Amino acid sequence: MWMQTETIVWKGRCGPFELRVGPDTFRPSTISMLLADAMEIEDRSTVIDAGCGSGILSIVAAKLGAGTVLGVDAARGTVEIATANAAAQGVGDRIRFFEGDMFDALPESAMADVVIGDVSGIPDELARVSGWFPSGLAGGPTGAELPMRMLEAARRLLHRGGKLLLPTGSLQDETSIMDKARAIFGPIRMLTEKLIPLPSALAEQPAVIRLIKDRVIRLSERGSRRLWTAHVWEMRA
Ligand SMILES: C[S@@+](CC[C@H](N)C(=O)[O-])C[C@H]1O[C@@H](n2cnc3c(N)ncnc32)[C@H](O)[C@@H]1O
């Protein structure tokens, strides 16, 4: 399949290096960087990267020593783009990419020591007004629906003692996600917490004001700046 791509530069862990992205590919964000920094990957371990986008976290996992990485994303063009990015970084022999909903496209026998659970997690309305998700694949009405579905499915893919890395934030119904995560996995460890400014043009959008009023998203204020909180969590099977 031919598609127009552009080049961006990954400046996070193991970087800097160039990545190709297509019209539907998620551009790695601050959360991608937080997740990459939080990743502890044992030599030759198996990693599943759910919501792999450009393949960036799969590539970082392979560079950190993973023996096998399976990346999956529902966005159009994922396999071509992420495969080319992994090959350009010299780790293509250890990563395979798949395109499909959640984990459906993975081989039936797929199991992992680490699942990176980075499927979209902001409310559909926020995705629409921010343009952060070029594929249009956002997290559901509250941004919690898709991550909660991912949590259910990920548990079955983890080896005993394996871990799931989960990013969440106050731009989604974080409480429902954490309740679900605790119900499935028990104790949860916070690896990262970071306050991130929300551009004021976005904070003033009627859709965002509505989501705040409905208590789906929560912002804090520092002077004239509006901030949201991002977290990375670790839970064990
Ligand atoms: C926040 S982005 C993360 C991308 C990548 N991990 C990164 O750090 O750049 C979430 C990704 O989840 C994907 N996604 C959304 N819905 C999905 C679904 N139902 N199944 C698989 N992937 C999905 C989106 O296409 C997007 O690439």
Whether the CB of 24 sits within 6 Å of ligand 1: no
Whether the CB of 139 sits within 6 Å of ligand 1: no
Domains of the chain: 6-194+230-236 (3.40.50.150)
Whether the CB of 137 sits within 6 Å of ligand 1: yes
Whether the CB of 77 sits within 6 Å of ligand 1: no
Burial of 98 by CB count in 10 Å (0-12 exposed, 13-18 middle, 19+ buried)?
A: buried
Contacts of 33 (CB under 8 A, 6+ apart): 11, 12, 13
Whether the CB of 101 sits within 6 Å of ligand 1: yes
CA-closest candidate to residue 123, choices 34, 208, 23, 230: 208
Banded model confidence at residue 1, pLDDT cuts 50, 70, 90: low
The tens digit of pLDDT for each residue in 88-104 reads: 999 999 999 999 999 99
In angstroms, what is the span from residue 78 Cα to ligand 1's centroid? 10
Per-residue pLDDT at 136: 79
In angstroms, what is the span from residue 70 Cα to ligand 1's centroid? 14
The tens digit of pLDDT for each residue in 172-214 reads: 999 999 999 999 999 999 999 999 999 999 999 999 999 999 9
In angstroms, what is the span from residue 222 Cα to ligand 1's centroid? 30
Secondary structure (DSSP) of 24-37:
TPPPP-HHHHHHHH
Banded model confidence at residue 120, pLDDT cuts 50, 70, 90: confident
The tens digit of pLDDT for each residue in 13-35 reads: 999 999 999 999 999 999 999 99
Angle at CA 53, nearest 5°, toward 198 and 14?
Answer: 85
Confirm if 82 and 9 have CB atoms less than 8 A apart: no
Per-residue pLDDT at 52: 98
Whether the CB of 135 sits within 6 Å of ligand 1: yes
In angstroms, what is the span from residue 207 Cα to ligand 1's centroid? 22
